[in-house]
Amino acid sequence: MRVSGVLRVLALIFTLVTTLIFIRTYMSFNMKSIRLLRWLAGSAPKETRVVKTKCGLSKSCPANFFAFKIYSGAANVVGPSMCFEDHTIMSSVKNNVGRGLNIVLVNGTTGTVLRQSTFDMYSGDPKLLVKFLTEISKGMLVLVASYDDPGTKMNDEIRKLFSNLGSSYAKQLGFRDSWVFLGAKDLKDKSPFEQYLKNDPDTNKYEGWPELLELEGCVPQKMY
């Protein structure tokens, strides 16, 4: 009991610290961000009543933050889904997801969806993804969800482009791995918003695929 309590506190501290790093690198350091940092350091009050949160998040985001939730695909059966500010942008129901990598670009200041696309990483042309990633400009948020196989057509150029958006795991992404990620062009450090599961026959939840991943959080609105 005690140990799990300590672990939970450590996990909370880790989350806070990574969030602070994200804010520090993502925003210019002005009075507004100092107030946000104070708010975070003071920690959120405990909610007792049930609140309907954007994207069904486990807790609401503060003002000046965008809510997001990303699910990777489950094996090759259920497609991924991506929600931003309570708006489902890509999902199986919307019939706009595909095998490989599904990517949404959002204006980091306004939260407006700029582009969305799906790239077949099993048999598609990786040059299309290189072009898409190269055209991402400063001030955009990038949401990524894998489905079925994100790895076969992966190459060093693409790995580097994702690493430059703040990804820690793009460099090892392989055949049928699960991956969810939110990054940005102007991050100076690694994004705290990323999860990765390797395709491993010993630990796979489904036959041939690891478990689906869920990533949710509050990302600071970019201010100038």
Applying CB under 6 A, the residues found at the interface with ligand NAG are 107, 109-110, 114, 137, 139-140
Q: Write down the least CB distance from residue 105 to ligand NAG, Å.
A: 8
Q: Write down the least CB distance from residue 135 to ligand NAG, Å.
A: 11
Q: Which of residues 135 and 157 has its CB atom nearest to ligand NAG in the complex?
A: 135
SS3 call for 130: helix
Q: Which of residues 24 and 185 has its CB atom nearest to ligand NAG in the complex?
A: 185
Of the candidates 69, 17, 24, 11, the one whose C-alpha atom is nearest the C-alpha of residue 189 is 24
Q: Write down the least CB distance from residue 150 to ligand NAG, Å.
A: 25
Q: Write down the least CB distance from residue 120 to ligand NAG, Å.
A: 26
CB of 40 within 8 A of CB of 19?
Answer: yes
Per-residue burial over 126-147, b if 16 or more Cβ lie within 10 Å, else e, is beebbebbeebeebbbbbbbbb
Q: Which of residues 126 and 139 has its CB atom nearest to ligand NAG in the complex?
A: 139
Measured from the Cβ of residue 11, the count of other Cβ atoms closer than 10 Å reads 10
Q: Which of residues 20 and 114 has its CB atom nearest to ligand NAG in the complex?
A: 114
CB of 110 within 8 A of CB of 85?
Answer: no
